[in-house]
Structure 1
Amino acid sequence: MVGRGELTDVAWQRIGPLLPCVDGRGRPWRDHRQVVNGVLWRLRTGAPWRDLPERCDPWQTVYERFARWERDGTWARLLEHVQVNDAAVGMVEWTVSVDSTINRARQHAAEAPKKGAQAPDELEDPRHPRLGQALGRSRGGLTTKVHRAADGRGLPLAIVVTPGNVNDSMVFDTVLDAVRVPRPSAGRPPRRPEAVIADRAYSSRAIRTGLRRCGIRAVIPERSDQIASRKRRGSAGGRPPAFGPEQYKARNVVERCFNRLKQFRAVATRFDQLAARYLAGLRLASLILWLREP
């Protein structure tokens, strides 16, 4: 019997065969499904690893495998696999919505020391460089910002984490570059959405120009100060950018995506010290959303 929040038989049949059969020393792994269910229990509850229920294997085994599969990219490959399968049958809707959300980080999430070079997702807060690990300090305390691109169904296509006080427009190109669903056969992966829907935080000349050069329709409303500046300049201000109010209504899919992801308490609040571990949890939660889609 499948417990609450655990992998269903159908979901396990899709990802189970993709998991490694032996560890790095050639010894067979213990039951993968039990371990993945333990990771999902921790993601859903936000409890410490040591508090995993007995049915989920020793907590050391669950955490060690979660960390190992983060390091070797297993979680990212599983997410990519289900995206490829949906793209192969034409289920991915290439009207992409981009947005971000700020998640509070618990104090012990900032206890990880900085050692060596940082990975691209482990960005620093320029005002507090000692924090690192995609943590920023603002009035709300320690925060991490999750930037996401979702397809027309509200399923995540790309995830980027930064410190909580990083401006959305600064990360737009990085998020769009991360939209990559490989083809099941030979050929370049599709990376060019038909349209990008975003709110006023992404209303800048650089973003609109970049999208136009790529042949992507921008559905982004102007900010009030931009409208006022254009009107003050008269004919020199140029024409207002094209905007589709009806199509803009579809932007709520990315908001719904965030709401579904934040049902996982370890996503809504960051407990992980390392940005890479937090990103792995986001990818696993995103994988579950794809697996739940009929």
Structure 2
Amino acid sequence: MLSRGDLTDDEWAVLEPLLPKSNNRCGRWRDHRQVINGIIYRVSTGCQWRELPTRFGPWQTIHKRHMFWSIDGTWETLLRHVQAVADSEGDIDWDINIDSTSIRTHLHAAGAPKTAATLSATSKGAAERSAHMRGLVSAAVLGGGGAAGEALGRSRGGLTTKLHLSADGKCRPLSLVVTPGQRADCTQFEAVMDKIRVPRLGPGRPRRRPDSVGADKAYSNRRTRTYLRERGIRHVIPEKRDQAAGRLRRGSRGGRPPGLDKDRYKKRNTVERAINKLKQFRAVATRYDKRGYVFLGTVTAAALLIWLRS
């Protein structure tokens, strides 16, 4: 299966040059490859960190490495590099699609302290580190304090998290955003689009504008269409029935109906298939991470493996 197995030599050759190097202040890092293999095992199986097999080394080391790389953007840097390599080879289909999926939250994911400062703020230095941590993750996870700040939302079924994503035409995630489960899809459209950023291996700005965008009726509103029109992005978003009725009631003032390329809209299934690939990883299909930014790091690590093994 896609989600199983340690890094191959070819996959490790891609990641190794981008990983943090050991220094005198931090001491010697435990072998990155061994630690990443442990993270892959946990993301794939959804097991508790302390239940990791001993061949990966101390579970505390693996857990902390995953947490730190989720905070400082290492996982996102690795994902963008792999995307950049694919783009340089012309391997990205820029007819992208956007959607979201709800993820059930395990009861162990609840109960995180309201702020990181409550964990170890026994000194001025600890409080400053906690404030710095909150600043790093504020742009990655959307929501306020408490459960919402950890991208946890309440519904009839209990706590849920919603994953918003864009995917290229080959069913691979391009950008990821997590929010509380009750957050409407259309409110995160711009956030998902703004996180599309594929660097160039040579000179030039990162590519941020796709050839076209497809989405379902949940994204049918004036703000979304204006956003895409101002950026010159062709889009395929069907009109809601009540919106069409309101436009007809206004007569000539209602404007023309939005065009719909049915053949292009059929390709929207690529984002659904990308979601299915992500949910092959059991730690993505069910959320076990208390912190929202750690869960986003888990999803990003899963997306990285999809790109490496596609």
Whether TM exceeds 0.5 here: the answer is yes
Q: What per-residue deviation string (whole Å, max 9, x for no partner) do you get for residues 104-136 of structure 1? A: 1112212111226561233336xxx53121111
**What's the counterpart of residue 87 of structure 1?**
87
Q: Which one has a larger percent helix, Structure 1 or Structure 2?
A: 2
Structure 2 residue 292 is the aligned partner of structure 1 residue 279 = no
2:48 counterpart of 1:29: no
Q: TM-score, normalised by structure 2?
A: 0.89
Q: 1:103 to 1:23 in 2, by over 3 A?
A: farther
C-alpha deviation, 1:161, in angstroms: 0.5
Q: CA RMSD, aligned part only?
A: 1.7
1:252 aligns with 2:269: yes
* 1:169-180 pair list within 5 angstroms: 169-180=186-197
- Map of 1:233 onto structure 2: 250
Q: CA deviation at 1:4?
A: 4.3
Residue 110 to residue 124, structure 1, CA distance change in 2 (3 Å): farther
The answer on 1:121 being equivalent to 2:140 is: yes
Alignment of 1:173-188 (within 5 A): 173-188=190-205
Choose the corresponding residue for 2:165, options 130, 148, 158: 148
Flag the 1:24–1:240 CA change in 2: closer, same or farther, 3 A: farther
Aligned to 1:72: 72
Runs of 4+ in 1 over 6 A off after TM superposition: none
Overall identity of the aligned pairs, in %: 52
Q: 1:109 maps to what in 2? A: 109
Alignment of 1:63 onto 2:37: no
CA separation in 1, counterparts of 2:233 and 2:143?
31
Report deviation, 1:218. Answer: 1.3
Q: Is 2:217 the partner of 1:200?
A: yes
1:137 partnered with 2:154: yes
Superposed displacement of residue 68, structure 1: 2.0
Larger RCO, structures 1/2 (Cα 8 Å, 6+ apart): 2
- Residues 141 and 177 of structure 2 are in contact (CA less than 8 Å); yes or no, is this contact kept in structure 1? no
Q: Given the superposition, is the C-alpha separation of residues 253 and 23 from structure 1 closer, same or farther in structure 2, using an over 3 Å criterion? A: farther
Give the superposition deviation at 1:233: 2.8
Aligned residues: 288
Secondary structure of 2:146's partner? coil
Q: Is the 8 A contact 2:95 2:213 kept in 1?
A: yes
User: Equivalent of 1:261, from 278, 282, 287?
Assistant: 278
For normalisation by structure 1, the TM-score amounts to: 0.93
Q: CA deviation at 1:30?
A: 2.2
Gaps (5+ residues) in structure 1?
A: none
Q: 1:122 touches 1:162 (CA, 8 Å); kept in 2? A: yes
